[in-house]
Every structure is written in C-alpha cells, then in structure tokens.
Structure 1
Amino acid sequence: MPESHVQSRSSSSFADAARGVVAMAHFAGERHWVPATSGNFSVRIDGRLAAVTASGADKARLTEGEVIEAEISGPKHPRASAEAPLHLARYAADAAVGAVAHIHTLPATVLSRRHEAAGVLRLEGWELLKAFSGIQTHETALDVPIVPNDQDTDRLAALVEERLKVSGPAYGYLIAGHGLYVWGASAKDAIRHMEAFDFLLTAQLHEEAAR
C-alpha cells in the first residue's frame, strides 16, 4: 500500500499517539499485566513513524515524556527498548495496524509454554471471541500463533511476520515463556483486544486444568 495512503488514514500527531500509548500502558498496569517494568506499547503516527515506549520505563506509571518517536523502517532510536522491532515490524507489514501492545499476563505466559510444541493455541466456541474486530459469532475458531523466544528481537520479529503471513487472520500472537502481543486499528481497539485475550486465555487455562 503506498505510504501516502497510509498517512491519509493515520494522521495523528506525536502528542496524540503518545497519549494513546500512555492510555494502553496504564490500562495494562492497573491489571498487573506489566510487572517489573515489562511490556511495551506503541501507536502509529503515520506511514513512517510510530510513538513507542522508551526502554526501562515503568509502564504502569508511564508518562508522555517516556514515549519516543521511532522510525518504522529506519535506524533504531537510542532510547528504544530491545523489543521495539516487534512493534515496528507489525506497522511495516500491515497498514491497518494502528496500535500494538505487549503484555505479560499469567495465562498467556503459561499457555505459551504448554502449547509451544504445537506452535498454535486454538480458542474456539467462546462468546467473547466476538470482541475481536470482524468476528460476528462464537461459532468460530481463532488460532493464536506461538513462536519460540529469542533474545535477538530483530530475528524474532522476522520470524513472527513470516508466521503471520501463513497463519490466517490474527489479532495477536504468543512468545513461548514470554508473553502476548496484540494489535488493533487504534489504541482503543488494542485495549479491547488486550482485555478480550486476557479473559479468553484465562478461561482456556481453567478449562484445560479441569480436563
């Protein structure tokens, strides 16, 4: 998709984008999804730039001064976290992605290890699947990709994007033993998707434990 088209659809300023980043971070922090300064959040500014949480920031208490402006396909920002490539790769791959959130919920982390060998976690039949944009019925299945963890996040981002090309429609993915990435067209959508995934993964964890 031409960059000019992306810019026309996503023309928010850095200040607007930074407020979206802070809103996502505080939402996650209130629910204890970003322990010990973990997690990352970002919002697309336009076809070239994104607002991203800076390295080391306490996401539960994030301020706009701890949000940086990063080039989606440019050199790494000196204050960018090691996991910034995973956010920027989503923006580069999909012009519809307007916000990305990375959280460390307990159900996501446990299930990512339990199903790592399969490479996918299937969520099926749950009513709350309808919380994801475009899903109209509980009579559906959502396959959440699981990728192995890697401290080389540029390599990990490339692996994720290759998986997403063949996985079919997705709203997030799991990194084994690490956590959950979700995205949406806006920060508001990403917040809804975070909350939906947490509920669904918690329900899945309890159902598996009861078997």
Structure 2
Amino acid sequence: MIPDHVEVAIIEVGRRLDRQGLVPATAGNFSIRLDARTLAVTVSGRHKGFLRPGDVMVVDIDGRPLTAGKRSSAETLLHCGIYRRFPEAGAVLHGHSIANTVMSRAAEGESITLAGYELLKAFPGLPTHEAEIAVPVVENDQDIPRMQQGLDLLWDGMAEPPPGYLIRGHGSYVWAADMPGALARLEALEFMLACEMQERRMR
C-alpha cells in the first residue's frame, strides 16, 4: 500500500519537471523511500507529465516488484543502488534534458566541474557560490547491474560522493532526504548545466 501523500508527491513532481522540459515523452523516473526495504517508484512507459494514481508501484530494495501486474523501468535498480548506499536518501529523481544530454556527451573526462554558481548552495556542504563541485559522468550501459557496480566502485573512491551524477548522453540522477530536496537539487543541477551549455555557444 502506497501512502496517498507519496503518490501525490511523485505525480506533482512529474508535472513540474514536464513543464520545464526535463522529462520528455516517457523519459525519467522518480522514487520515494517507504522504509528500509521498500520504495515507491513510477511504473514503466508513462509520460511523467501525465501521471495518475496507479502509475506508482512498490519494489523492494533489490528492485523486485511488490505490486502485482505492474512493471517499473530497468533503471529502478539505479534508484535501489542509491538507497542501499546512502541511508539518508529519501527520494531519487532521474531526468532527461537537452543540457544534461549535450553536456555529458561533450564532457572529455569523467566529470563536469561547476564553479561559482549561486545554486551550488542546493548541494550539501556548499554554503556559498564560492565553491565548486565535480559532477561524475558515467558511461551509459544497457546492463544496469553492471552500471551500478561501476557506480559503487566510483563512490568507494570518493571522500564525499556528490548527491548526483550524469549518464553520458542519457540523463541525470540526484537524491536527497526528501522529495523537495531532490527537486531543488535537480533543478539547480539542470540550471547550471544549461548555463554551461550556453557559455560554450558564446565562446
């Protein structure tokens, strides 16, 4: 059973991100942690701007469906990987935008550095714009468990893993303690990536 407020939060975030062009067609997926072993996640194949009650299902922390007759995206396993790794994570958002697609494809290294932006304050530990963050860019892979293994290795090597990453040519993932926090981080990340893309055009 999914609490009404959880389903409403997921439906509302889908509408907001659709208005901003961050989840075109059936792209993206969202989740909220229900408890230590389960999460509510969007079902596969739905346009996120037109989600309705019933377009959210429950899976366990390993991605196994607990709602009969419904299927979530294979990328649900990436949500599960975040929840397993970061106990403080309460919500995960995955979006697709022009900016994150273009910038992740153009990135020559394994990260994109964002520096000097006011919206860096949306990320933990960055109280002012006088900071920078390296957002990891990982290779796209249709083998989702293998991708998650790579992410776990990446996080193992980081002193402070940022609550977000990009999949090259594919999309962005962010997480936070709750849905409002995750939404703020996704919007901040997407804004900064759009600024970076615009600056490249002006050079």
Give the alignment's TM-score, normalised by structure 2. 0.91
Q: 1:164-183 to 2 correspondence within 5 Å?
A: 164-167=155-158, 168-183=160-175
1:133 aligns with 2:124: yes
Alignment match, 2:85: 93
Asked if 1:61 is matched to 2:50, the reply is yes
CA distance in 1: counterparts of 2:28 and 2:77, whole angstroms: 13
Q: Which residue of 2 aligns with 1:32?
A: 21
Counterpart code for 2:112: L
Contact 2:122-2:185 at 8 Å conserved across structures: yes
Q: 1:15 aligns with which of 4, 8, 15?
A: 4
How many residue pairs get matched?
A: 198
**Who is 1:3 aligned against?**
none
Q: Could you list the per-position Cα deviations for residues 109-136 of structure 1 after superposition, in whole angstroms to 9, with x for gaps in the alignment?
A: 0010111x40100001111111223320
Per the TM alignment, residue 27 of structure 1 is displaced from its structure 2 partner at its CA by 1.4
Give distance in 2, aligned partners of 1:59 and 1:196: 20
Contact 1:14-1:69 at 8 Å conserved across structures: no
Does 1:145 find its partner at 2:136?
yes
**CA RMSD in angstroms, aligned pairs only:** 1.6
**Which residue of structure 2 lines up, in the alignment, with residue 8 of structure 1?**
none
Q: Deviations over 1:44-96 (max 9, x none)?
A: 00101100000111111111301001101363565121111011110011001
Looking at secondary structure, tell me which structure has more helix per residue: 1
CA distance in 2, matches of 1:205, 1:164: 26
User: Could you tell me whether the CA contact under 8 Å between 1:27 and 1:191 is conserved in 2?
Assistant: no
* Structure 2: segments with no counterpart, 5+ residues: none
For the pair 1:163 / 2:154, whether they are aligned, the reply is yes
Pair 1:210 & 2:199 matched: no
Q: Which amino acid aligns with 2:52?
A: T
Paired AA for residue 30 in structure 1: R
Unaligned runs of 5+ in 1: 1-12
> Bigger shift: 189-198 or 66-75?
66-75
Which letter maps to 1:159?
G
| TM-score normalized with structure 1 length | 0.88
Name the counterpart of 1:200.
Answer: 192
- Supply the distance in 1 between the matched residues of 2:148 and 2:82 (Cα, whole angstroms): 8
Q: Alignment partner of 2:121: what SS? A: helix
